[in-house]
Amino acid sequence: MDASAFGKCSYSYEDYRETADWLLANTQLRPKVAIICGSGLGGLADLLENRNVFPYTDIPRFPHSTVEGHAGKLVFGELEGRQCVCMQGRFHFYEGYNIATVTYPVRVFFLLGVETLIVTNAAGGLNSSFNVGDIMLIRDHINMPGFAGQNPLCGHNDERFGVRFPCMSDAYDRELGTMARRTAEEQGCGSFLQQGVYCMLAGPTFETIAECRALQVLGADAVGMSTVPEVVVARHCGMRVLGFSLITNKVVTDYDSQQKANHQEVLQTTEMRAKDLQRLVRHMVGQL
């Protein structure tokens, strides 16, 4: 993505169409499912068969990923007989991208014909009953950047994507959630599958003790730096959404604690549990 596009605050329908048309011209696959991989979870894309791989740098108008644990590749392929597209690496506010750029791929997916979006992330556990290595099925979210006016739907609304005032009380598909819990039991993941509310902060700093305590009062079970903007845009486009947070660390809420959150810990924990999450997502896709 060139420097002028890096700071672009909005995109036209034609911009998204250009990217989608380029991808459609360069692959025979027509995915109905898109998967966005969080930090260290890009191995999900390696499960795809008959793959077509496109580095983000080769795709017209596509942003570039800059964070360790995010490979920066768009992978088309088949998973459990379903045609899918998988992002090995997403985009974040803290990379310097604005919210239109962070969510750019989701509208491209919509124009590719995607109907279901699966989002994954690495998150800190706010719920005291959660353990490191648990997988949290996202039941709902708290959009903290949205409280500050950073909502990806601000500005002109293009009806070709969705309505002006979309409902978010059903942001995470309940039928898919029920299916995920059943699949987790069948795959032996039930003992470490949790369910809860994900809260997004902008990052890149990990949270202060006071912030963690405040988020607990608000009802958040896990906290991270991504996911919510993509979910908002996906729902605006009418996609069904399923979300998973891998609990990679427990947040610090005690001033006497010597623990400190760090990104290497996040990646190490992700590596430990990644195969279980991959297995869960793979079998979920097979049932869609």
* Residue 98 annotated as catalytic: no
* Residue 151 annotated as catalytic: no
* Residue 65 annotated as catalytic: no
Name the residue with tokens 């006016």.
149
Single out the catalytic residue among 20, 222, 225, 284.
225
CA–chain centroid gap for 142, Å, is 14
Single out the catalytic residue among 5, 80, 94, 271.
94
Single out the catalytic residue among 11, 56, 70, 123.
70
Q: Which DSSP string do the residues of 92-138 spell out, in sequence order? A: -GGGT--HHHHTHHHHHHHHHT--EEEEEEEEEE-STT--TT-EEEE
Q: Are 206 and 122 in contact (CB under 8 A)?
A: no
* Residue 263 annotated as catalytic: yes
* Residue 95 annotated as catalytic: yes
Q: Are 120 and 246 in contact (CB under 8 A)?
A: yes
Single out the catalytic residue among 16, 226, 245, 274.
226
* Residue 257 annotated as catalytic: no
> Comparing C-alpha atoms, which of 132, 109, 120 is closest to residue 281?
120
Single out the catalytic residue among 20, 34, 100, 122.
122
Single out the catalytic residue among 56, 87, 92, 123.
92
* Residue 10 annotated as catalytic: no
* Residue 284 annotated as catalytic: no
Single out the catalytic residue among 5, 211, 263, 272.
263
* Residue 283 annotated as catalytic: no
- Sort strands 73-79 and 193-200 into parallel, antiparallel or unpaired: unpaired
* Residue 56 annotated as catalytic: no
User: And the tokens for 109?
Assistant: 């997916």
Single out the catalytic residue among 65, 127, 245, 249.
249
Q: How far apart are CA 16 and CA 177, in angstroms?
A: 30
Residue positions annotated with a catalytic role: 39, 70, 92, 94-95, 122, 225-226, 249, 263
